[in-house]
């Protein structure tokens, strides 16, 4: 996704210049952007607190500013700077966290971002963008540029299954038609799930959706999604994020508040490090039941109302 | 009396101090010591140095009272505004709030934020080749925050020639002297070693302040202001209590007497 984002930034920059700050990250990925942007590409060094506040200072003077780092260095280290300097002033600073969820795999827990969008959504004015596929980046970058609010973009590894035709980007999207339980995905884990669904041989079929923009207040579920739930009021939310602050919790709250009846609800999410061991992204997903086989098994359980 | 200032300046300082004390006394709010150590530099900046092209960031947000009174002294806040200080529905919070007051571009209060913000503003001016300077007032204890050093490295590396950093060195912080709590050593050579220009001036001498702040040599420049916490109120001067405690009735009436009308 990072390469797709770089191409999207290159196109966006050609249309209208902006500033891009990196916390000394982007090797083997952002070089073309750096060469194109020249002095508008600023390596702020390994100093994320300063980077975010500098971005806020630039934004007070009407500059369009993006800040890039590995996800936890982007949202956790400078959290107070995001809170006080960016969000409380409602400045349109765009934060980009590379490696959402367990994407950095065996690099270890310091590099994982398991609570990023939940944490950031507690802040005023913050908008979150989580692409499911690399092809979403041009639309998302455009939408982020048009927004006049703080924003966070969570990048991951694109996992489009073979022969799968990705539908055009939309903040809510039906990724696979079905006639039973609804699975709502967040981020690129959708690709792994769709790949697993290819071999699904049940008599009924789950309907798979993705959500890519939060909060729900500015991106409420569309009628088609609500209709699917009305038809089959069984929902399974799948995301590489801890339960606290997750889309699962957010949607459950939304459903209760708006009287959306859910007969059954399941939530598959990041559980941290259950075994205390580390490995690839798929290793961690499997430990949390976020691999396609487990997700579909859980969905099947909802189908059969176990 | 400070002989380096005109009678008008002396009157400005006296009336501003009186208004500051009145505001804090009526609101029952402390932080008076750090406001009084910063007030002279704020007045000098806003009356004798800054132009419409300049920006000011108060990084030591607990000196909000001094900034509000300074803005009052140049007509940007009214007496009624100051009366609302710390009251319900006020725009004048104990630390500057976001988007509350024209003339205060950013909210502060958590230390270590102002200088990076000011660096961003200075960089914006540099990008656009805009005239004007950016001033940022920090406390001395605030330099225990790592983000200030991050910002100093950034400002020097990016040659933010239009950035002037003021350090209100009153040598007292929340729970002791800066030397006792977490000594910064000799600040000047430490700052100089980062490649910025550093000078030390008497933070209560209008002439010294005016000379140092008016200097337009390319920066980033750091001006260490030697100041006295609680300046002008003998019972408060260099006292840790003045960091937190509000004025008692007796202290207030004595202080007003000492300041004169």
Checking if the pLDDT of A84 tops 60, the result is yes
Say if domain A172-303 classifies as CATH 3.40.50.800. no
* Contact yes or no for A56 and B125 at CB 8 A: no
Note whether residue B2 is domain-resident: no
- Asked if the model's pLDDT at residue B2 lies above 60, the reply is no
* Residue scoring higher pLDDT (B54 or A163): B54
Q: Out of B99, B150, B151, whose CB is closest to A89?
A: B99
ipTM of the prediction greater than 0.90, yes or no: yes
What's residue A305's pLDDT?
A: 62
Q: What is the pLDDT of residues A26-43, one digit of tens each?
A: 989 999 999 999 999 999
Q: What letters, b where the CB count within 10 A reaches 16 and e where it falls short, cover B116-152?
A: bbbbbbbbbbbeeeeeebbbbbbbbbbbbbebbbbbb
Q: Give the residue from B218, B249, B208 showing the smallest Cα distance to B2.
A: B208
Q: Is the CB of A50 less than 8 angstroms away from the CB of B118?
A: no
A103-107, B29-33, B82-86, B206-210 — which is least confidently predicted? B29-33
Between A231 and B261, the higher pLDDT residue: A231
**Residue of chain A whose Cα is closest to the Cα of B123:** A58
Is the confidence at residue B1, as pLDDT, over 50? no
DSSP 8-state symbol, A162? T
The answer on pLDDT for A306 being more than 50 is: no
- Are A57 and B150 in contact (CB < 8 Å)? no
Whether residue A57 and residue B112 make contact (CB cut-off 8 A), yes or no, is no
Whether the pLDDT of residue B5 is over 50: the answer is: yes
pLDDT tens profile B95-151: 999 999 988 999 999 999 999 999 999 999 999 999 999 999 999 999 999 999 999
Task: Kindly indicate the confidence band of residue B4, based on its pLDDT and cuts at 50, 70 and 90.
Answer: low
Q: Which DSSP helix (H) or strand (E) runs through B53? A: none
Q: What pLDDT shows up at residue B89? A: 96
Write out chain B residues lying below 8 Å of A62, CB-based: 124
| B121 vs A49, A60, A84: nearest CB | A60
Q: Where do the domains of chain A lie?
A: 2-155, 172-303
The fraction of chain A above a pLDDT of 90, given in percent, is 91
Split into its structural domains, chain B has a count of 1
* C-beta neighbour count of B42 within 10 angstroms: 26
Question: CB A58 to CB B147 under 8 A?
Answer: no
pLDDT at B234 over 90: no
Give the pLDDT of residue A101.
Answer: 97
To test the contact with chain B by mutation, choose from A20, A24, A46, A54 the residue with the greatest count of B C-beta atoms within 10 A, namely A54
Its domain, for residue B112, covers 7-259
Interface of chain A toward chain B, CB-CB under 8 angstroms: 19, 42, 44-45, 47, 49-50, 52-63, 80-81, 84-85, 88-90
Q: CB distance A42–B158 less than 8 Å?
A: yes
Q: State what percent of residues in chain A have pLDDT above 70.
A: 99
Distance between CA B229 and CA B239 in Å, rounded? 7
Is there a common fold for A2-155 and A172-303? yes
Report the CATH number at residue B113. 3.40.50.970
Q: What's the mean pLDDT in B206-229? A: 96
Q: B195 in a domain, yes or no?
A: yes
Handedness of CA B228, B201, B153, B215 (dihedral sign): positive
CATH 3.40.50.970 fits A2-155, yes or no: yes
């Amino acid at each position: 996704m990072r390469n797709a984002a770089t191409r999207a930034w290159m196109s966006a920059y050609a249309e209208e210049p902006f500033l891009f700050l990196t916390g000394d990250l982007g090797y083997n990925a952002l070089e073309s952007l750096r060469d194109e942007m020249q002095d508008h590409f600023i390596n702020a060094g390994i100093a994320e607190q300063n980077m975010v506040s500098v971005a806020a200072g630039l934004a007070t003077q009407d500059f369009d500013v993006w800040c890039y780092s590995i996800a936890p260095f982007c949202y956790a280290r400078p959290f107070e700077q995001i809170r006080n300097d960016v969000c409380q002033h409602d400045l349109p600073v765009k934060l980009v966290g590379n490696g959402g969820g367990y994407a950095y795999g065996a690099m270890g827990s310091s590099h994982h971002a398991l609570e990023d969008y939940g944490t950031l959504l507690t802040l005023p004015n913050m908008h979150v963008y989580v692409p499911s596929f690399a092809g979403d980046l041009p639309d998302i970058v455009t939408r982020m540029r048009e927004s006049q609010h703080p924003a966070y973009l969570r990048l991951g590894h694109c996992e489009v299954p073979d022969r799968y035709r990705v539908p055009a980007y939309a903040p809510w999207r039906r990724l696979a038609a079905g006639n039973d339980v609804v699975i709502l995905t967040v981020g690129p884990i959708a690709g792994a799930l769709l790949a697993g669904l290819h071999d699904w041989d049940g008599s009924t079929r789950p309907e798979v959706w993705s959500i890519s923009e939060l909060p729900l207040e500015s991106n409420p579920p569309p009628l088609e999604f609500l209709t699917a739930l009305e038809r089959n009021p069984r929902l399974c939310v799948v995301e590489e994020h801890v339960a606290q602050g997750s889309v699962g919790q957010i949607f459950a709250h939304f459903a209760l508040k708006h009287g959306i009846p859910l007969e059954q609800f399941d939530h598959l999410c990041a559980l941290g490090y259950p075994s205390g061991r580390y490995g690839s992204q798929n290793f961690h997903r499997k430990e949390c039941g976020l691999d396609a086989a487990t997700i579909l098994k859980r969905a099947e359980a909802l189908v059969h109302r176990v | 009396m400070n002989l380096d200032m005109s009678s008008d300046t002396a009157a400005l300082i006296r009336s501003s101090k009186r208004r500051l004390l009145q505001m804090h006394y009526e609101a029952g709010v402390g932080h008076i010591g750090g406001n009084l150590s910063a007030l002279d530099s704020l007045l000098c900046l806003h009356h004798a140095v800054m132009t419409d092209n300049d920006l000011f960031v108060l990084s030591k947000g607990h000196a909000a009272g001094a900034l509000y009174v300074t803005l009052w002294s140049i007509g940007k806040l009214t007496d009624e505004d100051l009366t609302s200080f710390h009251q319900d529905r006020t725009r004048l919070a104990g630390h500057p709030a976001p988007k509350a007051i024209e003339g205060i571009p950013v909210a502060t209060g958590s230390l270590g934020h102002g200088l990076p913000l000011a660096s961003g503003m200075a960089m914006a001016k540099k990008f656009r080749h805009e005239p004007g300077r950016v001033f940022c007032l920090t406390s001395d204890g605030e330099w225990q925050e790592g983000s200030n050093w991050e910002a100093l490295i950034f400002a020097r590396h990016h040659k933010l020639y239009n950035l002037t950093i003021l350090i209100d060195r009153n040598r007292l912080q929340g729970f002791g002297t800066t030397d006792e709590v977490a000594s910064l050593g000799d600040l000047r050579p430490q700052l100089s070693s980062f490649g910025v220009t550093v000078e030390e001036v008497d933070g209560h001498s209008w002439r010294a302040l005016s000379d140092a702040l008016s200097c337009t040599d390319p920066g980033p420049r750091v001006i260490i202001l030697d100041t006295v916490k609680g300046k002008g109120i003998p019972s408060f001067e260099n006292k840790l209590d003045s960091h937190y405690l509000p004025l008692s009735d007796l202290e207030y009436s004595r202080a007003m007497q000492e300041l004169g009308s």
